[in-house]
A and B are shown apart, each in its own frame.
Chain A
Amino acid sequence: MHATKALTEADRLMTVCNSCRYCEGLCAVFPAMEMRRNFEDGDLNYLANLCHNCGACFVDCQFSPPHEFNVNVPQNFARVRAESYGQYAWPFAMPGVFARNGLAISIVAALSIALFIIGFVAYANPAALYASGDEAGAFYRVMPHNTMAVIFGAAFAFGILGLVGSSLTFWRSTRRPDAPALTFADLLQAMKDAGSLRYLDGAGAGCYTSDEMTDSRRHAHHATFYGFLLCFASTSVATLYHYVLGRQAPYGWTELPVILGVLGGIGIVIGPIGLYVNKLKRKPETIDAESEGMNLAFIAMLFATGVTGLLLLVLRATPAMGILQALHLGVVFALFITMPYGKFVHGFYRYLALVRYAGEKKQLEAGGGVD
């Protein structure tokens, strides 16, 4: 018996696929499936998170709908993945709620925080809200640095703790008793596979949209992911500037935090746009409508982070700075606190699934088997 309907269907699909195996050359999912004869919930959650949803197996399958066997792995795995985010979320599981209402929750959270900051400042020191000038420390007119550090440090810590807890739960529940020992080589291999999105290319043909194969989704994802990393790097460098060098933001245009932030900001603006446009072109049959709220929330929040961040940079010397900063802080805060519950975790689970696959593949090549 499986925990959910989607997992029961995933078991049926893997039984069909395992007796066919025509897709074994497409990606990592099918070779991983072949190493098993029966599928527990943990196996299915592992396989679903190994799937990058390129759609190649759907268009290649002789049993996809309208065939009576109704084989639609990308859609079912999208459902199973979304459920797994809720199921493994730590400290509290949130089955379904975020998946369905992710976009609304994120927007409401971001706006509430922004309004709260604006309201607070307007009440305590109305002049600061519309003051202009970008002298050192100007950002802290709206919120003193230490307050900001405490509040956002706490939100970020909550997010990180949640991610670590969720990832550990995922790792443990997808481990078979005879799983190979974790090695550094597996971690490295998975980093390469994830970093290049090796399995989002339909085995070289690209990602499947409604009428053609293209690599644009992979490119958009690269822009988003590496853009995010650059933004993260920008914030980290700025933190060092503040505490180590004792220099206060905002920084000049040619300084490292700004350069990293601008590049990253551009990435998380154009990347999510590319991902959204791609979404509209995807084969609708392969999309799980129920988890789209969560997916949209994620790219919308990244996009909003990028747009408000870039605007803040450009307009930081004008009276608009205060409001923009409140908005930017609201969006970032909402992104942090929803991290463990939404699409953000897909990167962690995908990475861990790739680590598991790297180990299993080695075990298989050495003559062992998972089952």
Chain B
Amino acid sequence: MAMAQQRDSAGQGEAPAAFDPSRQYDVMVAGGGNAALCAAISARRTGASVIVVESASEFFRGGNTRHTRNMRCAHDAATDTLTGPYYEDEFWEDMLRVTGGQTDEHLCKMMIHESKDMLNWIVEQGVRFQAPIGGTLSLGRTNSFFLGGGRAMLNALYKTAKKLGIEIVYEAEVVGMDVEDGFFKSATVKHKGHDYVVRARALVAACGGFESNFEWLERGWGPAARNFLIRGTANNKGTVLDMLIKSGVQQIGDPTQCHAVAIDARAPKYDGGIITRLDCVVFGIVVNKLAQRFYDEGEDVWPKRYAIWGRLVAGQPDQIAYIVFDASSLKLFMPSLFPPIQSDTIEGLAQKLELEPAALAKTVADFNAAVRPGTFDPTVLDDCRTEGLTPAKTHWARKIEKGPFYAYPVRPGITFTYLGTKVNEESRMLMADGRPSANMFAAGEIMAGNVLGRGYAAGVGMTIGSVFGRIAGREAAKNARN
């Protein structure tokens, strides 16, 4: 085993004390988000020495957690921050529904049960929730909202971790791992141009999926993936996930699939977060770059419709589409970062969007001609629909006729990937042959596929991170002492 510090000639900086080659930690946590910090804190509170290696800089620490806002936990009664009970049974039904049954029932029910105490435990770690108020997407009963959002939550966890004496190194990317027959010995960590070997008695992998790795996305999606936008961190390259699978850990979840929503095409490639989302599909029509409609915009209510449009747009030429609506809808949805593109005529709008004006005018005219009268109500599946149009718009169909006309360009925005490492109820990784790993644990997005094989329910990512993080840390600490 390589114990000596390895240095390359390029870098200059001082070696952080945390990388002292004579040290062997009880637990090494790879990653720096909610799952990683819950694991680190839980391991430390169980008495272990802990090092956290986070590939991001201090500001960008925490992966996708910094873009989250809430956590879904079961509870039997209303609290200061939740408007009503959310029993374990209902949570389980919701998980069954969103995953279409692609979930490990045993693990998922355990997570739901453990989520109840998470509302207390996470608060003990310094995290604060806000009272349910406006703008919280009608989730006030089921989901607890972090006061100040995900970055505030992270700040609290990091503060606690520091106070507990957990070593944290930023800009520290795991680039190599020494794993023998399911037994973790050490990891090679790149930090400011140097490679360091970090030894630990147990590993917790909590470093996300592979959604920011375009080469990997291309394996599943072909060249279309190049046009995807990544809603969160640029650091989820799946390096550790790949190493674990190659060293014999059993994989779970569809290796190509990702959670994709339609977001504003003008968003940055990474880290655009919540403010680039658009929830106005239902108020107009969606056309591709040929100015043709391609799917029923009125199929379903949020959040189901939210999650299918990323995939739909990914299937269109150049992975771009345009939501077109008129003045009557402008104020019916949450404002977003970029203003809509605007024109007094449909033809003018088409020109600004670089679409064929005659084609867009015909699409809108055909749509308007097919709209049947009805009573518009955006809160229910109403009776406003088209007749004799393919594809139909089955609800909320209103003529697009009142100028000025508006459009948002949209592209697929990737939230997370489903591929992960198989774990058991100790959050311990299982090897391809079904045996549990001797000392490797996983938490968060890297193992989310165990309970979330597809789909998504708001706040479940954070539940997975916190619950399995807490378990993984505790079990890793126990494991290290045996």
Residues on A close to B: CB < 8 A? Answer: 15-16, 18-26, 31, 34, 37, 56-57, 59-63, 66-69, 203-205, 364
Known A19-B275, A19-B336, A62-B67; judge A34-B149 contact (CB<8 A): no
Residues on B close to A: CB < 8 A? Answer: 59, 66-67, 69, 128, 130-131, 133-135, 145-152, 155, 268, 271, 273-275, 331, 334-337, 339
Our count of residue pairs bridging A and B at CB distance below 8 angstroms stands at 80
Q: In the assembled complex, which residues on chain B have CB atoms less than 8 Å from the CB atom of A16?
A: 275, 337
Q: How far is the CA of A203 from the CA of B148 in the complex (A)?
A: 9
Known A24-B133, A68-B268; judge A204-B335 contact (CB<8 A): no
Contact at A22–B335, with CB atoms within 8 Å?
Answer: no
Contact at A25–B145, with CB atoms within 8 Å?
Answer: yes
- What are 10 inter-chain pairs, A to B, with CB distance below 8 A? A15-B339, A19-B275, A23-B148, A25-B148, A31-B134, A34-B135, A59-B155, A62-B151, A66-B59, A67-B271
Known A18-B335, A19-B275, A19-B337; judge A62-B131 contact (CB<8 A): no
Residue in A closest to B59 when the chains form the complex, CB atoms: A66
Known A23-B149, A203-B147; judge A63-B273 contact (CB<8 A): yes
Known A20-B273, A60-B155, A68-B268; judge A15-B337 contact (CB<8 A): yes
Q: In the assembled complex, which residues on chain A have CB atoms less than 8 Å from the CB atom of B130?
A: 24-25, 203
Residue in A closest to B65 when the chains form the complex, CB atoms: A62
- Other A-B contacts than A22-B152, A67-B271, 15 sampled, CB-CB below 8 A, are A19-B334, A19-B336, A20-B273, A22-B69, A24-B130, A25-B131, A37-B335, A59-B151, A59-B152, A62-B273, A63-B273, A203-B128, A204-B128, A205-B128, A364-B134
Contact at A25–B147, with CB atoms within 8 Å?
Answer: yes
Min C-beta distance of B144 to chain A, whole Å: 12
Known A16-B275, A31-B134, A63-B275; judge A22-B149 contact (CB<8 A): yes
Q: In the assembled complex, which residues on chain A have CB atoms less than 8 Å from the CB atom of B150?
A: 22, 62
Q: In the assembled complex, which residues on chain B have CB atoms less than 8 Å from the CB atom of A62?
A: 66-67, 149-151, 271, 273
Contact at A21–B135, with CB atoms within 8 Å?
Answer: yes
Query: In the complex, which of the residues B59, B67, B133, B336 contacts A25, with contact meaning CB atoms closer than 8 Å?
Result: B133
Question: Would you call the interface of chain B mostly helix, strand, loop, or mixed?
Answer: loop
Residue in B closest to A38 when the chains form the complex, CB atoms: B335
Contact at A57–B271, with CB atoms within 8 Å?
Answer: no
Contact at A22–B337, with CB atoms within 8 Å?
Answer: no
Q: In the assembled complex, which residues on chain B have CB atoms less than 8 Å from the CB atom of A21?
A: 135
Min C-beta distance of B406 to chain A, whole Å: 14
Min C-beta distance of A72 to chain B, whole Å: 13
Contact at B67–A60, with CB atoms within 8 Å?
Answer: no
Q: In the assembled complex, which residues on chain B have CB atoms less than 8 Å from the CB atom of A19?
A: 274-275, 334-337
Q: How far is the CA of A66 from the CA of B60 in the complex (A)?
A: 9
Q: How far is the CA of A63 from the CA of B275 in the complex (A)?
A: 10
Most central of B59, B148, B274 by chain A CB within 10 Å: B148
Q: Top 5 closest A-B pairs, CB basis? A: A22-B149, A25-B130, A60-B148, A60-B152, A19-B275
Q: How far is the CA of A25 from the CA of B130 in the complex (A)?
A: 6
Q: In the assembled complex, which residues on chain B have CB atoms less than 8 Å from the CB atom of A22?
A: 69, 146, 148-150, 152, 274
Min C-beta distance of A147 to chain B, whole Å: 56
Q: In the assembled complex, which residues on chain A have CB atoms less than 8 Å from the CB atom of B331?
A: 37
Residue in B closest to A211 when the chains form the complex, CB atoms: B159
Contact at A15–B335, with CB atoms within 8 Å?
Answer: yes
Min C-beta distance of B290 to chain A, whole Å: 30
Q: How far is the CA of A34 from the CA of B274 in the complex (A)?
A: 16
Residue in B closest to A26 when the chains form the complex, CB atoms: B148
Contact at A57–B336, with CB atoms within 8 Å?
Answer: no
Q: In the assembled complex, which residues on chain B have CB atoms less than 8 Å from the CB atom of A63?
A: 273, 275
Residue in A closest to B137 when the chains form the complex, CB atoms: A21
Q: How far is the CA of A59 from the CA of B268 in the complex (A)?
A: 22
Most central of B146, B152, B155, B268 by chain A CB within 10 Å: B152
Q: How far is the CA of A18 from the CA of B333 in the complex (A)?
A: 12
Contact at B134–A34, with CB atoms within 8 Å?
Answer: yes
Q: How far is the CA of A57 from the CA of B149 in the complex (A)?
A: 10
Query: In the complex, which of the residues B135, B268, B271, B274 contacts A24, with contact meaning CB atoms closer than 8 Å?
Result: B135
Q: How far is the CA of A24 from the CA of B148 in the complex (A)?
A: 7
Min C-beta distance of A368 to chain B, whole Å: 13
Q: In the assembled complex, which residues on chain A have CB atoms less than 8 Å from the CB atom of B59?
A: 66-67
Most central of A24, A57, A62, A63 by chain B CB within 10 Å: A62
Q: How far is the CA of A364 from the CA of B150 in the complex (A)?
A: 27
Q: How far is the CA of A62 from the CA of B61 in the complex (A)?
A: 10
Q: In the assembled complex, which residues on chain B have CB atoms less than 8 Å from the CB atom of A18?
A: 335
Q: In the assembled complex, which residues on chain A have CB atoms less than 8 Å from the CB atom of B334?
A: 19
Q: How far is the CA of A63 from the CA of B149 in the complex (A)?
A: 12
Q: How far is the CA of A224 from the CA of B314 in the complex (A)?
A: 60
Q: How far is the CA of A24 from the CA of B146 in the complex (A)?
A: 11
Min C-beta distance of A241 to chain B, whole Å: 50
Min C-beta distance of B338 to chain A, whole Å: 9
Q: In the assembled complex, which residues on chain B have CB atoms less than 8 Å from the CB atom of A364?
A: 134
Q: In the assembled complex, which residues on chain B have CB atoms less than 8 Å from the CB atom of A57?
A: 148
Q: How far is the CA of A23 from the CA of B337 in the complex (A)?
A: 16
Q: In the assembled complex, which residues on chain A have CB atoms less than 8 Å from the CB atom of B147?
A: 25-26, 203
Q: In the assembled complex, which residues on chain A have CB atoms less than 8 Å from the CB atom of B66?
A: 62
Most central of A24, A37, A57, A69 by chain B CB within 10 Å: A24
Contact at A24–B134, with CB atoms within 8 Å?
Answer: yes
Q: In the assembled complex, which residues on chain B have CB atoms less than 8 Å from the CB atom of A20?
A: 149, 273-275
Q: How far is the CA of A62 from the CA of B60 in the complex (A)?
A: 8
Min C-beta distance of A19 to chain B, whole Å: 4
Residue in B closest to A59 when the chains form the complex, CB atoms: B155
Min C-beta distance of A151 to chain B, whole Å: 51
Residue in B closest to A371 when the chains form the complex, CB atoms: B331
Min C-beta distance of A211 to chain B, whole Å: 10
Q: How far is the CA of A22 from the CA of B150 in the complex (A)?
A: 8
Q: How far is the CA of A66 from the CA of B273 in the complex (A)?
A: 15
Q: In the assembled complex, which residues on chain A have CB atoms less than 8 Å from the CB atom of B274?
A: 19-20, 22
Q: How far is the CA of A69 from the CA of B67 in the complex (A)?
A: 14
Query: In the complex, which of the residues A60, A66, A67, A69 contacts B149, with contact meaning CB atoms closer than 8 Å?
Result: A60
Q: How far is the CA of A31 from the CA of B145 in the complex (A)?
A: 15
Min C-beta distance of A65 to chain B, whole Å: 8
Min C-beta distance of B302 to chain A, whole Å: 16
Residue in A closest to B272 when the chains form the complex, CB atoms: A69
Q: How far is the CA of A62 from the CA of B275 in the complex (A)?
A: 11
Query: In the complex, which of the residues B69, B133, B336 contacts A31, with contact meaning CB atoms closer than 8 Å?
Result: B133
Min C-beta distance of B125 to chain A, whole Å: 15
Query: In the complex, which of the residues A24, A60, A66, A203 contacts B151, with contact meaning CB atoms closer than 8 Å?
Result: A60
Q: In the assembled complex, which residues on chain A have CB atoms less than 8 Å from the CB atom of B149?
A: 20, 22-23, 60-62
